[in-house]
Every structure is written in C-alpha cells, then in structure tokens.
Amino acid sequence: MKATNYALLLIKSFEQLRLNSYLCPAGVWTIGYGHTAGVHQGMQITEKKADELLQQDIRNAEHCINQMGADLTQEQFDALISFVFNIGARGFNVSTIRKKILKGPNDPSIADEFRRWIYAGNQKLPGLIKRREQEIKLYYS
C-alpha cells in the first residue's frame, strides 16, 4: 500500500516546518518536518529538501507497515503512516500496537495502544495527545 495525500497532510499538520536543526522535546536533533536521521546541530536545509526528506520518511514508514503483512484499510494504513513517522520503525516493530494489529486490525483496544504513545522526554505532550486522537479517528473511520 501507499500513503495517500491525507496521511501527508496529517503529518504536516503536526510537524512544524523548520529549516534549521533543533532539539525536539525528546532531545533528538530534528529538521524539516520532523526528520531525524543524520541531523546535527547547526544544520540548515531548504523547503524543497524538507519535502524530499518528508517523502523519504513516508516511504520508510510505508515499508515498515507493508512488511507487517496485515490486511489494513487505506484509513488504517494512513493513520499508521503518521504514527510510525512519529515514533519510528524501531519503536513500532516492538510495540504492542503492532502485535494487536497482527492479531486483528479492527480490535477496539488498538485505540488504547495509540494513547500510550503521548510522551517525549518523560513528559505528556498536549500535541501528541491531539495527534494520537486524530490518528485513532482516522484508523477507525
């Protein structure tokens, strides 16, 4: 499956475009629309490069979700694109949410698993709470 434009817009609605590297609340160097791979202090990029990195990160999330082999709806897939984009493939691959999806992607308790991922740097972040609720809404639509 491929992410739709809706997944892209969902990610962009929660990831502020930043052309200069910064430390995110979890203490990770970040740039563009939440890109972290290879980012270091003092890095600068263009908006075009930020869009390229975003597309690369979405492709990585697509690969991670497709590799799971679950029978997902497009809405479930798009919600998971935003989720995996945010928490990373490594975190997703060892998560309970992934295990529950593999057992049955329509399990209502999956919503509770989304809601567990609202912390950064040991702090509950209002933006992550809002993001997870949007992902849940899309996942079950």
Query: How confident is the model over 85-120, as pLDDT tens digits?
Result: 999 999 999 999 999 999 999 999 999 999 999 998
- Model confidence, pTM: 0.95
> 5-14+51-139: which CATH topology?
Lysozyme (1.10.530)
Task: Give the active site residue among 15, 62, 113, 135.
Answer: 15
- 138 and 10 in contact (C-beta within 8 Å)? yes
Task: Give the active site residue among 24, 52, 75, 133.
Answer: 24
Q: List pLDDT tens digits, range 25-37.
A: 889 999 999 999 9
Backbone angles phi and psi of 113, in degrees to 5: -70, -40
Pairing outcome for strands 119-120 and 123-124: antiparallel
Tell me if residue 15 is catalytic.
yes
- The SS3 assignment for 120 reads strand
Give the start-to-end residue ranges of the domains of the chain: 5-14+51-139
Which amino acid is residue 4, in one-letter code?
Answer: T
Could you tell me the CA-to-CA distances from 46 to 19, 34, 87 in Å, in that order? 6, 14, 24
Tell me if residue 75 is catalytic.
no
